[in-house]
Structure 1
Amino acid sequence: MKHRGISAVRDQLVTAAEKRFPLRNIVGRLPTTLPQHDQIIAHADRLLAGEWDLFGRPAKAFSRSLDWRSDPVTGAPTAEGHWHRVPYLGTGDGNDVKYLWELNRHRDLVRLAQAYFLSGRAEYSEALADLLDRWMEQNPPGEGINWASSLEVGLRAIGWCWMWYLSHRAPLWTDGRLGHFLWQLWHHGDHVARFDSVHHSPNTHLTGEALSLLYLSHIMPDFHRAARWHQLGCATLQAEVVSQILPDGFHFERSTCYHRYTTEFYLHAALLLADNPNPAQLSDVTEALDRLVVVIAALRRPGLPWPVLGDDDGGRALRLTTAPPADQRSLLACAAAWRNRFDWLPEASVSDGAEAWWLLDDRAWERLALRETTAVAGVPPAVQHEEFPAAGYYLARDGLGPRSWSCLIDAGPHGGDRTGHAHTDLGHVEISGMGIPLVVDPGCSVYSGDPVRRDWFRSEQAHACLVVPGHPLAEPDGPFSWRRTAVTPEVSLEEASGDLWRLQLGYNRLGPNGSMQHCRQVALVAGWGVLVCDWVTGGGGAATPFELRWPLGCAVEPARLGDGSITIGNARLRWWLTSTPGCWAWRTPELRTAVMSPAFGEESPATQLIFPATRVPAAMLFGCSAISAGPASIQWETAVDGTPTACHVQLGRAHPPLRFSARRSRCTRKSNAGVAAARTP
């Protein structure tokens, strides 16, 4: 390429771009057929007006200065010098590098390029040119914080590929600017290839970097070393299928956000490889994509966004839509249309095609655009369930209508071993019903800016777990690692019939006075709701304080705490507590003010329902919680000494009662904490 004049290079690149993915698919497509067309233009107009935001916070400092190397919210400068000498974690200044790096992924420059492609208005390309010039001047290759993470370099390179595609015929590409852009773009590829994250963050960092090498070798095949980049990108993506994707299809970090990232990476890789297919490479990547998408399809909830499990950094591999990152519907619809697998999303329609419009060829796009949707409302409630035993996630729901119930239980090992983005949420139960998120994972609003807050969000104290003060299940060791992780429970799926799904898990844990056993039983009754039963024993020969915590999906006024129940929307949460007679055990339940993070950088008021207790010698404590729209009552079975051994939960006339027993079950012999649950005749 260096032996040809830049004008000739530009002409060749323009011609080639229109023959390749993705431009080949959309260059003749009518812009007004794009779902979210108006929203994309409106967002670009806000950028022209200087209204930049990151994770729900206005980036006022960047709007004023257009300084790509300072914190975009606070304006604090970052260190100068070669990238490997620039600190970015634990700097102690209260700034989170995530904000700066999200800005420098250039998602908003891609948005301006999208708006130019859709409208042809010069003001979008002129703003894009000015911002790009400033970035290239302020960030010479290898210098400063924007070169410190190879993943961020790679994701920016992907964004630049799309910027070029969508504005390739715009007047902004003068000889000087195009030459500088190509020089910078080559250095992006060279940096990623030389400094991959294999020894630093061998997770989605590696696969994201690999995807960027595929993009660069695809858009600029004449670049020096482009063939090597292609080979390296393919080899990494193929190898990481084994390393990062569990046998059940879940990403090994067990975070829904990083699972979404991985799915995006493999979807884009498959689309790129389909342009010049190598059968073995395309087959490996497509097979991995199918397994990943099955998980996303299983996680969808009736009338609600996807659950947020573990860390969610609020980003996307490439933000082509205006939907919140946690909303995976457009990604799922795109994969379903491309693979012609609408069993993944039976209710998919053209309104879900905001991502597919940009990525798919006419044949796949028309599958979605012309699709007759499958109604999900009005179907009688019946149990649907998915088990992901390698990840340890178990899901059940009774439909996909607006009044349906769903629950998800974390009953597996800690994600990512001692590194990565999993939380300590052993036994956590996620419950939604009647269109409301009732019991939720609170997410995590911070990475490196506030260590104390970060450690709380990813601890069992923030989740629906058993908490023993002073004796955590796991110990953090920095923002992305763990000194010690939680044990792995024993699990048994007890029943999955037409109207009932039951699961139990049990594990041992250390308390202040020795080993404690916790067994949790969960039942979803179709058309009724969800029951959770907890049995706690052990703890040695002295009093052992602990708490059962329920993070609710909204703020609840303390005055609404009734006698053994609380109302949340159209649902009612009830609880019954008992223990060995004569033992002072359960104390008065509490409603505590808390916070939840629906997306990275955002926090909203929330409430935790706390059941505090002190386990004294020879006591068994039992708690049963029911979340439903129907009636419920309970009857106890006890031993001769009055110790609770089982309970019968009456669910009203429409459903037979359920019996939960404290006897040990074969499935939890290892932890000696198991119980069995059986339905009464």
Structure 2
Amino acid sequence: MGSWRWKLRRLMAMSPREVALRAARLLHDRLAPLPQALPTETWQRWYPHVHPDTILEQLAHRLPLHPEVLPESERAHLLVEADALLLGKWRLFGYEVHLDNPPHWHRNYLLGKDWTDAPARRLDYRRIDIAGGVKYVWELSRHQPLLRLAQAYALTGEACYAETCLRWWLDWLERNPRGWGIHWTSALEHAIRIFAGCYVLRLLAAKQPLPLPSGERIGVRGLLGSILQHGEYVERHLSPGSSANNHLIGEAAALAFAGSLLPDSPLTRRWRQKGYAILEREALRQFYPDGVNAEQAFGYLPFVWEFYLHAYRLQPIPDAVAERLRKSIEFVRNVMDASGYVPQVGDEDDGTVVPLWSTHANRYRVVGRALAHLLHCEPPPALDPADDALCLWLFSETPPAGSRLTESRLYPEGGYAVLHKGPWQVLFDAGPLGLGSLAAHGHADALSVWASLDGKPLLIDAGTYAYHEDPEWRNHFRSTRAHNTLTLDNREQSEILGPFLWGRRARSGFLAYDLQQHTVEGFTDAYLPDHIMRRVHLKDTQLLITDTIEWDAAHSAQWHWHFHPDWQVEPTADGWRITDGTRICLLRVEGLPPDIQAHLYRGDEQTKLGWYSPRFGHKIPCTTLRIVLPVPDEVNMVRWEFAIPFDFTFCPSMVQFP
């Protein structure tokens, strides 16, 4: 990632204004760096006459929490997770690891490797040769384990939780002084720690006094001062220009949040003004009027929702911002299937901000329901008691039951169509690659189709799996062939230039639609001078997909269909039989010659086909059907029919909930 070629490509994605801004920022950091002060000294610099106990009392008033209303099941889940932490057991992206006491904060616990202990300005967090992907080190220092321990203390009053929480936090401050180490290289990570720090203090302060270790030098002033230091860093390093995606929303939300909670001063007034102004502007830029997020990455929706939820819990929300967020919740209610599954369109890294809920909750539902409560709109349905945990903690109320939106709709700005008919629910993509000049979190998925049958995902997105730490798999999972669409001559629709950087981009759009007839048609110019169109139609119990190719220069076509791991696919005399043991679907194709090349892949390491990433860092085998038309000849229209056998009847009891 440090190569001159990547740096040149990255520079070319910036505007002249952004280049000048970054150069000025670099010069400013060199000539006038932030003071190398202890957190206690930072607190004294800004608030020499404010006693920290006053702040803790104000936190209880400004940041109310309601542990007493949690259902017993959720309370029990949280305490199990907190007790595991006391034993050093923690789950890192779903993998159980054993932490030291206190943890080694620079360690990738999956690999057992540590980041270099050096000034932050000398570290390139994109490097993977030191301790693997940096996310595996950053995750622990988002302070979410501290949050869980603080919750357990608020729920039980048992000192062991608070003592461990504070000892770990103080150790983090000791080993990560301002400007030192890998944790001082990302403004977004600082922003998340601001939220975590404020909520941890609020939870611990519920029972006074704080059980600080005896002889501790830093104390409450140091804890508050560390939040100030994080805010100062964020304000200086707001994501500019081409990087202004969900990172900027998170950074602005942290300034607004801290500026609203800490004592009034010129500093906090500036943070409030700047933070809320950016949040309002970015809501209108990063959410289309139809509710689709411009990053074209569904997995980042609940992450961004959290930032808006916590920031506007403290201040009235502007009407324009509220409307965009309501539309985004409505969009998710429309694409969510009956099992609660949301197609994994674009990147997803399971990011959270203040996960007050247990691991039994679903991010879309638990955050969406709390945000809907704030916005006074219809929430997504709750499919588990944990899905209401965040709303109960923040507002002491349970939202309405909620519902899915089960009508066919077009999202013209975002570039999606959602079709509902009978047992089928289908999502069709004819939208842009992603946001801004990077399109960092978009995938090459133009004209892709995702489908659920009888409330269960059938045609899926392969997922994300990796970021910096595994370039080959990173490129595969966002490639065209990792999606339910077609390629010509095995070429990518858009040009991959780096893990979060695209070059030439496909342009896609809608050609026609008739939602009453559950029909939509789109195009992409990915392979000019060849043209591709795709028509998707729900007819009775059939999903019909028709691909039209206007040939010019290409010499072959390839189709890939990716099936959820629960489904088995086997060839038949006239197509393929797809079943999960209860449901059955038959796939037939028309318009292709008999000598096509058709192969089924399952967990193939060589081709990388037949893999599904259900969450960041994980991949499991699934079935991928690859069909190759080596010589186009006269073929210009191919029709795919996913049909339910005439003698098979679905019933609502078949729908399985997670």
Q: Same fold (TM over 0.5)?
A: yes
Alignment partner, residue 596 of structure 2:
586
Alignment partner, residue 533 of structure 1:
546
**1:91-490 aligned within 5 A:** 91-93=128-130, 95-168=132-205, 169-173=208-212, 176=217, 177-199=219-241, 201-222=243-264, 225-274=267-316, 282-323=318-359, 327-342=363-378, 344-345=379-380, 352-360=387-395, 362=396, 365=397, 368=399, 371=400, 373=401, 384-398=407-421, 404-417=423-436, 418-490=438-510
Alignment partner, residue 78 of structure 2:
40
Distance apart, 1:591 and its partner CA: 4.1
The structure-2 alpha-carbon separation of the partners of 1:7 and 1:628, relative to structure 1 and needing over 3 Å to count, comes to farther
How many residue pairs match? The answer is 595
Distance apart, 1:206 and its partner CA: 0.7
Percent identity, aligned pairs only, is 27
Alignment partner, residue 31 of structure 2:
none
| CA offsets 1:403-452 (integer angstroms, 9 cap, x no match) | x4311011111112433101000111111112321100111110001111
Q: What is the rounded CA distance, in whole Å, between the counterparts of 1:252 and 1:451 in structure 2?
A: 24
The structure-2 alpha-carbon separation of the partners of 1:383 and 1:47, relative to structure 1 and needing over 3 Å to count, comes to closer
Residues 333, 348 of structure 1: 8 Å contact kept: no
Distance apart, 1:86 and its partner CA: 1.0
Q: What is the rounded CA distance, in whole Å, between the counterparts of 1:325 and 1:201 in structure 2?
A: 30
The structure-2 alpha-carbon separation of the partners of 1:103 and 1:347, relative to structure 1 and needing over 3 Å to count, comes to closer
Alignment partner, residue 645 of structure 1:
none
Q: What is the rounded CA distance, in whole Å, between the counterparts of 1:165 and 1:299 in structure 2?
A: 36
Residues 244, 252 of structure 1: 8 Å contact kept: yes
Of 620, 644, 651 in structure 2, the residue corresponding to residue 628 of structure 1 is 644
Q: What is the rounded CA distance, in whole Å, between the counterparts of 2:45 and 2:135 in structure 1?
A: 40
Distance apart, 1:525 and its partner CA: 3.8
Distance apart, 1:200 and its partner CA: 6.1
Larger radius of gyration: 1
Task: Give the secondary-structure state (helix, strand or coil) at the position aligned to 2:503.
Answer: strand
Distance apart, 1:242 and its partner CA: 2.8
Alignment partner, residue 678 of structure 1:
none
Residues 259, 272 of structure 2: 8 Å contact kept: yes
The structure-2 alpha-carbon separation of the partners of 1:103 and 1:320, relative to structure 1 and needing over 3 Å to count, comes to same
**1:611-650 aligned within 5 A:** 611-628=627-644, 630=646
CA RMSD, 1 decimal: 3.0
Distance apart, 1:131 and its partner CA: 0.8
Residues 40, 321 of structure 1: 8 Å contact kept: yes
Q: What is the rounded CA distance, in whole Å, between the counterparts of 2:487 and 2:538 in structure 1?
A: 24
Residues 263, 293 of structure 1: 8 Å contact kept: no
Residues 597, 629 of structure 2: 8 Å contact kept: yes
The structure-2 alpha-carbon separation of the partners of 1:562 and 1:133, relative to structure 1 and needing over 3 Å to count, comes to farther
Distance apart, 1:322 and its partner CA: 1.9
Code of the residue aligned with 2:87 in structure 1: it is A
Residues 133, 467 of structure 2: 8 Å contact kept: yes
Residues 302, 405 of structure 1: 8 Å contact kept: no
Any gaps of 5 or more consecutive residues in structure 1? 275-280, 377-381, 633-650, 653-681
Task: Give the secondary-structure state (helix, strand or coil) at the position aligned to 2:445.
Answer: coil
Task: Give the secondary-structure state (helix, strand or coil) at the position aligned to 1:409.
Answer: strand
Distance apart, 1:596 and its partner CA: 0.8
Q: What is the rounded CA distance, in whole Å, between the counterparts of 1:351 and 1:55 in structure 2?
A: 19
Q: What is the rounded CA distance, in whole Å, between the counterparts of 1:143 and 1:4 in structure 2?
A: 22
Task: Give the secondary-structure state (helix, strand or coil) at the position aligned to 1:590.
Answer: strand
The structure-2 alpha-carbon separation of the partners of 1:554 and 1:135, relative to structure 1 and needing over 3 Å to count, comes to same
Alignment partner, residue 638 of structure 1:
none
Q: What is the rounded CA distance, in whole Å, between the counterparts of 2:474 and 2:340 in structure 1?
A: 26
The structure-2 alpha-carbon separation of the partners of 1:59 and 1:461, relative to structure 1 and needing over 3 Å to count, comes to same
| CA offsets 1:451-502 (integer angstroms, 9 cap, x no match) | 1110000001110010234422112111101122222134321x223xx411
Alignment partner, residue 20 of structure 2:
none
Alignment partner, residue 518 of structure 1:
532
Alignment partner, residue 676 of structure 1:
none
Code of the residue aligned with 2:426 in structure 1: it is C
Relative to the length of structure 1, the TM-score reads 0.81
Code of the residue aligned with 1:587 in structure 2: it is Q
Say which structure, 1 or 2, has more relative contact order (CA 8 Å, 6+ apart): 2
Residues 337, 456 of structure 2: 8 Å contact kept: no
Code of the residue aligned with 2:147 in structure 1: it is V
Q: What is the rounded CA distance, in whole Å, between the counterparts of 1:192 and 1:415 in structure 2?
A: 25
The structure-2 alpha-carbon separation of the partners of 1:524 and 1:37, relative to structure 1 and needing over 3 Å to count, comes to farther
| CA offsets 1:89-146 (integer angstroms, 9 cap, x no match) | 1444571111111111111111111111111111111110121121011100111110
Code of the residue aligned with 1:240 in structure 2: it is E
Q: What is the rounded CA distance, in whole Å, between the counterparts of 2:642 and 2:290 in structure 1?
A: 30
Task: Give the secondary-structure state (helix, strand or coil) at the position aligned to 1:515.
Answer: coil
Residues 446, 524 of structure 2: 8 Å contact kept: no
The structure-2 alpha-carbon separation of the partners of 1:591 and 1:623, relative to structure 1 and needing over 3 Å to count, comes to farther
Distance apart, 1:237 and its partner CA: 0.7
The structure-2 alpha-carbon separation of the partners of 1:441 and 1:68, relative to structure 1 and needing over 3 Å to count, comes to same
The structure-2 alpha-carbon separation of the partners of 1:450 and 1:351, relative to structure 1 and needing over 3 Å to count, comes to closer
Answer with 146-155 or 162-171: which moved more: 162-171
Distance apart, 1:66 and its partner CA: 1.5
